């Protein structure tokens, strides 16, 4: 059997390749952000994320600390929810939620004349005001979270803002970083058009594995 057949060996070798290529490109990722950047590149095979991921001061450490204390995760899509490590969450006593398919959220969106993403974030902000929020698809979700922070006492542990696309995507990330920077809320964002549910899940998993002491796949039983 090849040395690169088992999942743990594949992941370990992939992360080593990523580290080597970053060095070859002359890219020095701050140590506190390294796990997140490498996990995102691992999920996407896209080295642009080494340059376009932005962190408010201490965001990765604060997010990992919150998760270590059992903080919940809220995602904007069921795809991102599916990608979050449930075993790491369970080890830390946490849980993950997505309200996009909730009938009450659909009814609220219809009544308010807004998107389900907005209604889902409004509901989640009230239900989980101190959670980690991970947005990989809907820029309207980021705008809703920014509005909630500016209008009240909503102060999440961290907001991951990595929606992908062409309409309002760049603007939503810029607003997120501005609002979070002004209000002192930790944030991680991918500047530009790139992102997606897989990126949102990868960032959450990097923080979960950091918090659970599972960055090496051997610690996850791989």
pLDDT tens, residue by residue, 99-142: 999 999 999 999 999 999 999 999 999 999 999 999 999 999 99
- Compute the distance between CA of residue 207 and CA of residue 23 in angstroms, rounded to an integer: 23
pLDDT in tens, 46-101: 999 999 999 999 999 999 999 999 999 999 999 999 999 999 999 999 999 999 99
| pTM (predicted TM-score) | 0.95
Residue 160, beta-bridge partner list: 134, 188
How far, in Å, CA of 172 to CA of 43, rounded? 23
pLDDT digits (tens, 9 = 90+) for 25-48: 999 999 999 999 999 999 999 999
Of the CATH numbers 3.40.630.10, 1.20.140.10, 3.40.30.10, 3.40.50.10230, which one belongs to the domain with range 7-217?
A: 3.40.50.10230
Q: Catalytic residue positions?
A: 42
Cβ atoms of 166 and 195 within 8 Å: the answer is no
* SS3 label, residue 160: strand
Entry field: residues in the chain: 222
Domain residue limits, the chain: 7-217
HSE (CB half, 13 Å, CA atoms) of 118? Answer: 14
Structure tokens at 144: 């809703």
Q: CA 74 to CA 76: how far, in whole Å? A: 7
CB 161 within 8 A of CB 142: yes
Measure the CA–CA gap between 23 and 26, rounded to whole angstroms. Answer: 5
Give the mean model confidence (pLDDT) for residues 201-211. 98
């Amino acid at each position: 059997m090849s040395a690169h057949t088992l999942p743990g060996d594949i992941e370990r070798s992939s992360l080593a390749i990523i580290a080597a290529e970053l060095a070859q490109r002359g890219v020095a990722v701050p140590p506190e952000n390294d796990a997140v950047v490498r996990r995102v590149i691992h999920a996407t095979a896209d080295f642009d994320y080494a340059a376009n991921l932005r962190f408010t001061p201490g965001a990765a450490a604060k997010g990992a600390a919150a998760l270590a204390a059992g903080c919940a995760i809220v995602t904007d899509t069921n795809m991102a929810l599916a990608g979050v490590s449930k075993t790491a969450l369970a080890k830390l006593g946490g849980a993950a939620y997505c309200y996009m398919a909730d009938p009450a959220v659909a009814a609220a969106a219809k009544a308010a004349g807004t998107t389900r993403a907005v209604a889902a974030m409004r509901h989640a902000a009230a239900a989980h005001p101190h959670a980690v929020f991970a947005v990989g698809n809907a820029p309207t979700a980021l705008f809703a979270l920014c509005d909630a922070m500016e209008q009240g006492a909503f102060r999440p542990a961290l907001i991951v803002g990595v929606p992908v696309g062409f309409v309002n995507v760049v603007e939503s990330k810029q607003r997120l970083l501005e609002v979070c920077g002004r209000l002192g809320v930790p944030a991680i964002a991918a500047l530009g058009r790139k992102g997606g549910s897989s990126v949102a899940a990868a960032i959450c998993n990097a923080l979960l594995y950091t918090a659970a002491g599972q960055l090496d796949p051997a610690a996850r039983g791989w």
